[in-house]
Structure 1
């Protein structure tokens, strides 16, 4: 049970503080009853492991005042205490809130975190695993997942070229591309705005690039050429006159000309190895690039990132199984995939390269507050593969809707009477989250199976 030390002290001389204390006590009581009913009571918790994933909105941020009291942290601790291992997304660079959460959870709890992901797409976030050391053990193996050369996550809508340092775009004479275009931008009453995303303007026929000094024509590796008689270290290359194009040729720009914004993942996945009872499991937590649900190109970017992730993790797991065909270690990926629905192509990308989402999770309508988007997922690599005495047995899975019990709509006047109902709905997601915690419970005791495997000729 979490340690709620601030609840023991009343505030007779401060009605506001006392109201928060009383409200928090009532909220924790409702949560405890609801969580007891939510989780299955027909499993032996000595033989199972419960793994969760939760995108906690801007955890460590200060929008809408941040989590400026102990109340939301206490509620989070009550929920998380029901897991053995939980992957957390959207943890900011400042870990003070995470440390507050771990202190409330108690001395049995620990965490492993990545550094902050740099770059705009990374959004200043960390990947975090929190775990109960009395229920699960860190196996001292952890690492950020990066992609090998040739398998980078390039932007599906094309790479940008920097028009600077001698590289310029020449438009046909008389062309004026100035005009009004659709764009996302921050509101500003003065009429001056700052773009949130690129504005892309189609180019007219006849536009061309003037190349900078130091550019070169590259004949690609694997192109068939001839060697002049009597020479060594030289080849004869036939370059078309006029327009040069085709798979045999590439332009080599000076360093820094390409704006390579999508070379690795927007937020680097984090792979950590745990053991719970007999179960050894490698967990990869992710927060996949979002972009937009309406822009087809950005959706394609999201799909590509998920595909590259499952390919890299699948290759890693396959190699380990090849080295040891009876390797009992499971591989799973969990987190915020920004998947639209179970039928969407983004789900197809997740269930590629050997990964499968358990049916108990696929049937969950959604993991956002409205429960109409399947953003968060948990998938296992080749769950039916023979791993000797270990097998993937999903006992149960679900999402927990905390807004049925705390920061409820009928408490609007108690929390933010000055706000509209819609504004209150947004405000409360910065106290708790706009995602619901998703969890799965697995069998973790394979002692009988191990003994049976030993008792063979």
Structure 2
């Protein structure tokens, strides 16, 4: 982490002192909740939907505060590899990379076309080059005709005709390696649609098809000594819901510690990390404890340390500019 940027980004000493205090509190929390990343026997992996990151239209919420970029960088720095969803433009992201330092790198997709329902976002991988290297293979999943979402088939003579949908936001697949450990990884931001009806059915189909398509690589990956990792924002309704069963049906293993809400108000189970690998390649020992310090999986509760309820007075001026209720919306 390049903390010296604080001196130049925050000329006001009171602001700088407050932000440093927040960072110290966040660092102390992460020290307790996230394992140290100096072991060559472990890979610390995370997924994070940073909503509307550097979006040109932020739905009335305005630009992010500069200090947020330091908090985001602090969390990312504690991992070796992070999949990030909902990165729009790259201006704010490049500032995060500047704070992380030269030993960090990233790989991302182009923006998804709005006409496909992707709200102009990118999928991105950030990785610590001291621990992980890119194996020069990357691509986006395009479904074959017989796997399209909401398919319709017809026959014209001896020819079968297919019609259907691709993913609203195309899953991003790439190959990486950490020490001897090779892994193919696919990150997603699954279509949300609605809580019932045809749009919910499309959501379930997207989860099912990406797990099935990516899972087809399992046999070849095993021969090559690789693990498969599928992660991101799946818009899972609940661990017992069809949305989760669609993911588990393709034999992906999901840590029990992630079977709990991961959003701000603790009502959604959207974010998931799933694995498929031969035990000789990835010794996945599941544990239900919710803390990363006591198990091999968990959720970082960022807002225990920054932007807390008791800090509201410090940000009231910014909040009043972004409260849509004041604008009659």
TM-score range, shorter chain: 0.7 to 0.9
Give the equivalent residue in structure 1 for 2:53.
59
Residue 313 of structure 2 is matched in structure 1 by 413
Give the distance between the partners of 1:78 and 1:342, measured in 2 at CA.
30
Cα distance in 2 for residues equivalent to 1:9 and 1:82 = 24
CA contact (8 A) 2:193 2:203 kept: yes
Instruction: Report the secondary structure of 1:398's partner residue.
Output: coil
Q: What is the match of residue 336 of structure 1?
A: 233
Alpha-carbon distance in structure 2 between the residues aligned to 1:316 and 1:46: 27
Write the deviation string for residues 258-282 of structure 1: whole angstroms up to 9, x where unpaired: 9x7x621111111111111221111
Cα deviation, residue 283, structure 1: 0.8
Q: State the 1:320 CA deviation.
A: 4.3
Structure 2 counterpart of 1:24 = 19
Cα distance change on mapping 1:277 and 1:220 into 2, 3 Å:
same
Confirm or deny: 8 A CA contact 1:84 1:132 kept in the other structure: yes
Offset from partner CA, 1:152-184 (integer Å, 9 cap, x none): 1127xx89xxxxxxxxxxxxxxxxxxxxxxxxx
Cα distance in 2 between the residues matched to 1:83 and 1:374: 21
- Aligned to 2:261, the other structure's residue is in SS state coil
Distance change in 2, residues 1:218/1:272 (3 Å)? closer
Residues 407-416 or 102-111, more deviating: 407-416
Which of structures 1 and 2 has the bigger CA Rg? 1
Q: Which of 252, 274, 297 is the equivalent residue of 2:198?
A: 297
Q: Give the distance between the partners of 1:266 and 1:367, measured in 2 at CA.
A: 23
Question: Is it true that 1:109 corresponds to 2:94 in the alignment?
Answer: no
- What secondary structure is seen at the aligned counterpart in 1 of 2:306? coil
Asked if 1:144 is matched to 2:44, the reply is: no
Distance in structure 1 (CA, Å) of the matches to 2:31 and 2:126: 21
TM-superposed deviation, 1:36: 0.3
User: Secondary structure of 2:205's partner?
Assistant: helix
2:212 is equivalent to residue 311 of structure 1: yes
- Alignment CA distance shift 1:29-1:307 (3 Å): same
Query: What is the aligned counterpart of 1:283 among 182, 185, 189?
Result: 185
Match of 2:275 in 1: 380
Distance in 1 (alpha carbons) for counterparts of 2:148 and 2:155: 21
Deviations 1:200-231 (CA, angstroms, capped at 9, x unpaired): xxxxxxxxxxxxxxxxx964538xxxxxxxxx
Alignment of 1:104-253 (within 5 A): 104-118=99-113, 119-154=115-150, 219-221=156-158
Unaligned runs of at least 5 residues, structure 2? 287-294, 325-329
Indicate the SS of the match to 1:280.
strand
For residues 320 and 74 of structure 1, do their structure 2 counterparts lie closer, same or farther at Cα, with a shift above 3 Å needed? closer
Distance 1:319 1:417, change over 3 A: same
Higher relative contact order (Cα pairs below 8 Å, separated by 6+ residues): 1
Q: Report how far residue 6 of structure 1 moved.
A: 3.3
Once the two structures are superposed, residues 4-44 of structure 1 have per-residue CA deviations (whole angstroms, 9 ceiling, x without a partner) of 22323597xx7xx4333222111101100000011246x97
Cα distance change, pair 220–367 in 1 and its aligned pair in 2 (3 A): farther
Q: Between Structure 1 and Structure 2, how many residues are aligned?
A: 311
Q: Which consecutive residues of structure 1, in runs of 5 or more, have no partner in the other structure?
A: 160-216, 223-249, 253-257, 425-457
| TM-fit CA distance, 1:108 | 0.3
- Are 1:274 and 2:198 counterparts? no
Residues 222-270 of structure 1: CA deviation (Å, up to 9, x unaligned): 8xxxxxxxxxxxxxxxxxxxxxxxxxxx9x9xxxxx9x7x621111111
1:358 CA drift (Å):
2.2
**Length-normalised TM-score, structure 1:** 0.63
Q: Which has the higher helix share?
A: 2
Q: Deviations over 1:379-414 (max 9, x none)?
A: 112x4x455x65434661111111111111111111
Match of 2:261 in 1: 366
Is the CA contact 2:116–2:169 (under 8 Å) kept in the aligned structure 1? no
Residue 442 of structure 1 is matched in structure 2 by: none
Q: Match of 1:35?
A: 30
Q: Closer, same or farther in 2 for the Cα pair 1:89/1:144, shift >3 Å?
A: same
Cα distance in 2 for partners of 1:356, 1:10 equals: 43
- Measure the CA separation in 1 of the matches of 2:155 and 2:143: 25
